[in-house]
Every structure is written in structure tokens, then in C-alpha cells.
Amino acid sequence: CCYKNLEDLGLELSFPETNSSLILVKKVPLCFIEREANELRRKRQPVTKSIVEELIQEQVELVQTTGGRARGTLPLTFLKVLASQACHGAIKFNERLTLEESCRLIEALSSCQLPFQCAHGRPSMMPLADIDHLQQDMQPRPNLARLRKMARAWHLFGK
């Protein structure tokens, strides 16, 4: 049940017969190792043990509440680790980009469901100009259909 699911996720455990309350962790998912390396590079405390404990607890609760029938979704623990990696690897405010990098970024963002926020839901863009101060004839017309679509997505998935 849960044990096989954890192996599918890259977490290998063993349960020694001599101690029923002991769980030995043999392998952890690569994203956990990468998160640990990032934390240690920043002179922070190790996090792998707490992440593994959180994942095991999450899976135990899932088995208890669903009887082990819920499968096929990525555990919240993984989503949090991946969101953290996405933010740490992201372009930061005031970081200079070449024209080509800027074009690739805009192209990639145009295909995103929520291009105006990071993986944690925080704003990821800032205004470059105050539209009230631009000349009327120089203002491009806004794509209202796209803005409505983005607003609906924000209401559904944002906040």
C-alpha cells in the first residue's frame, strides 16, 4: 500500500525486525537532496530529515483517511520542495537579462496559467510604467479577453 507508493516516489525505507518503532531511510528523492544542498549552501540547518518525516506522516494520514485508495497525486511535501526549488532558481528582481533572454521569458510566461505569480503564489512581476502618464496615442490597446481569462485564473487558483 503506502510503502510501495513511497518507493515509486523515490523514498526507500526498511523496517528492522529488532525495533518496531524504527524506520531506516535507504534512499531519498533527488529533489530532497538538492533542497538540502541549497540550504547548506546558505549556511542553514539540514532539512532532509524533517522533509522525510513530513512525507511519511502525510502518507500515513492519507492511508488512514482513504484506506490506501488515493493514488496518482503528487504529495504536498513534494510540491512544497519543488515550489521552493522553482523560486530559488528563478530570475530575481533587478537581475539583468539580454534581449534574447527577455523574449524567451515572455514567450514562456505567455503559455503559463498563472504568469504573474511564483510557485508559492507571490507576485512575480512589477509595473514598468504608470499608464496614466503615457500619451493616449502611444498606448497599446489591452487584450481584454486575455485579461479576463487571467482574472478568472487568479480567482480560481490565486490567493
Give 93-151 pLDDT, tens digit per residue.
Answer: 788 999 999 899 889 888 888 888 887 788 877 777 777 776 655 656 777 888 888 88
Residue 22: inside a domain: yes
| Rounded CA separation 100/106 (Å) | 10
pLDDT band of 2, cuts 50, 70, 90: low
| Rounded CA separation 122/139 (Å) | 28
| Rounded CA separation 44/51 (Å) | 15
Predicted local distance difference test score (pLDDT) of residue 81: 93
Predicted local distance difference test score (pLDDT) of residue 115: 86
What percent of the chain lies above the pLDDT cut of 70? 90
Element (H, E) at 99: helix 99-110
Residue 76: inside a domain: yes
Question: Nine-digit cell at 121?
Answer: 503564489
Residue 40: inside a domain: yes
Residue 47: inside a domain: yes
Residue 135: inside a domain: no
Q: Identify the domain containing residue 120 by its residue range.
A: 99-126+141-157
Residue 48: inside a domain: yes
Residue 134: inside a domain: no
One-letter amino acid for residue 56 of the chain: I
39 & 76 share domain: yes
| Rounded CA separation 145/76 (Å) | 33
Number of domains present in the structure of the chain: 2
52 & 109 share domain: no
CB neighbours of residue 27 within 10 Å = 12
Residue 136: inside a domain: no
User: 120 or 45, which is more confident?
Assistant: 45
What distances in angstroms separate CA 75 from CA 9, 45, 81, one per listed residue? 9, 23, 10
83 & 103 share domain: no
What percent of the chain lies above the pLDDT cut of 90? 26
8 & 71 share domain: yes
Return the residue matching grid coordinates 481569462: 149
